[in-house]
Structure 1
């Protein structure tokens, strides 16, 4: 495996090694040596860039936050129609399929939350961001009169986060009955049921 020369590239390379290794070994069994092996580096070389495995895991989780939170929040600057914004937010919050290694890593964190302060803190931060994302979209739709919500916005947002997490878990677990398109349509249906049509 080619070794990047640039420090930012090397760090990105290591984060991808964490994601790829976790997809095959699981988070509970992950070791710094596993990551180093996957990256084609020595353990000492990895420690040059990150203090320990927890530091690497924090960075990998940050990559998940960027993809599933930061990018979705940025949609609010470019998508003005609330129904389309809700639809794009739902789509962008689901895994791309069973082989979505980054989403699998995020779910692995959910599994070990409660047994580690680091994992618990990261999972809680992700949940708060998911909730805030949906809350902002629903409030925009309600304020503009496009959504006629039968639930208060916080409860509606809570329901969407719960559906997103549940369907996403089924998708990465390879449950063939829950495809990405079926999950999207199911979430659209739930949103329509409480007055927030998504397209």
Structure 2
């Protein structure tokens, strides 16, 4: 049996391999052997660390949620003015293209939320965390709290909507244009001068 530290490292490697497998193959029909092939392991080795495939998918989802959130939080912490923070949030919240690994993994697993409580909880947690980032920045502007909350929720919904089109390779929704449109909404809603 592997030591706890080794187990943690190996599980992290398997989670990363599962994310790559989801990007390459999609979630529908994904099997342990696909993850094992991506990880350079035998299916038995993957099953040793993850006896239940759903546990692996839950860890993949949790990892993607955490990375997406913390990347955005660090981006706004590096900027002092709210306008710049809003621009950073939009840049970090929209997929860079149809091959953006983290966003593709999130979209694939969010669809799984309709049939799985664990994934539903993770999707909701990410939404709440993203809204809280926007709310934190928007409340530094001269907006009443109710308006800030509404604008924050709308900004996240716009990111998600445009992101689905980007992930779906809709040629009419390039990432740059999606970001510009979200920034245009935020400018109209807040009166802030947002240069993306």
TM-score scaled by length of structure 2: 0.86
Q: Is the 8 A contact 2:17 2:39 kept in 1?
A: yes
How far has the Cα of 1:150 moved from its partner? 11
Which of 163, 178, 182 matches 2:177?
182
Please list, as runs of the form range in 1=range in 2, the aligned pairs for 1:110-129 lying within 5 A after superposition. Answer: 110-129=110-129
Task: Provide the C-alpha distance between the structure 2 equivalents of 1:56 and 1:159, rounded to a whole number of angstroms.
Answer: 32
Task: Provide the C-alpha distance between the structure 1 equivalents of 2:12 and 2:57, rounded to a whole number of angstroms.
Answer: 12
Q: Is the 8 A contact 2:76 2:88 kept in 1?
A: no
Instruction: Between 148-157 and 188-197, report the one with greater CA deviation.
Output: 148-157
- Structure 2: 5+ residue stretches without partners: 1-5
- The CA RMSD measured in Å over matched residues stands at 2.1
- Structure 1: 5+ residue stretches without partners: 1-5
The Cα offsets for residues 4-24 of structure 1, whole Å up to 9 and x where unpaired, read as: xx6555333322221121123
Task: Provide the C-alpha distance between the structure 2 equivalents of 1:138 and 1:53, rounded to a whole number of angstroms.
Answer: 40
Please list, as runs of the form range in 1=range in 2, the aligned pairs for 1:20-39 lying within 5 A after superposition. Answer: 20-39=20-39
Question: What is the match of residue 59 of structure 2?
Answer: 59
Determine helix, strand or coil for the equivalent of 1:158.
helix
How far has the Cα of 1:86 moved from its partner? 0.5
Question: What is the match of residue 86 of structure 2?
Answer: 86
Question: What is the match of residue 14 of structure 2?
Answer: 14
Q: Is the 8 A contact 1:151 1:194 kept in 2?
A: no
Task: Provide the C-alpha distance between the structure 2 equivalents of 1:118 and 1:28, rounded to a whole number of angstroms.
Answer: 17
Aligned length: 189
Q: Is the 8 A contact 1:23 1:101 kept in 2?
A: yes
Distance 1:17 1:30, change over 3 A: same
The Cα offsets for residues 2-46 of structure 1, whole Å up to 9 and x where unpaired, read as: xxxx65553333222211211233213122222112212112211
Determine helix, strand or coil for the equivalent of 2:139.
helix
Instruction: Between 131-140 and 47-56, report the one with greater CA deviation.
Output: 47-56
The Cα offsets for residues 107-133 of structure 1, whole Å up to 9 and x where unpaired, read as: 112222221112212211111111111
Task: Provide the C-alpha distance between the structure 1 equivalents of 2:69 and 2:87, rounded to a whole number of angstroms.
Answer: 15
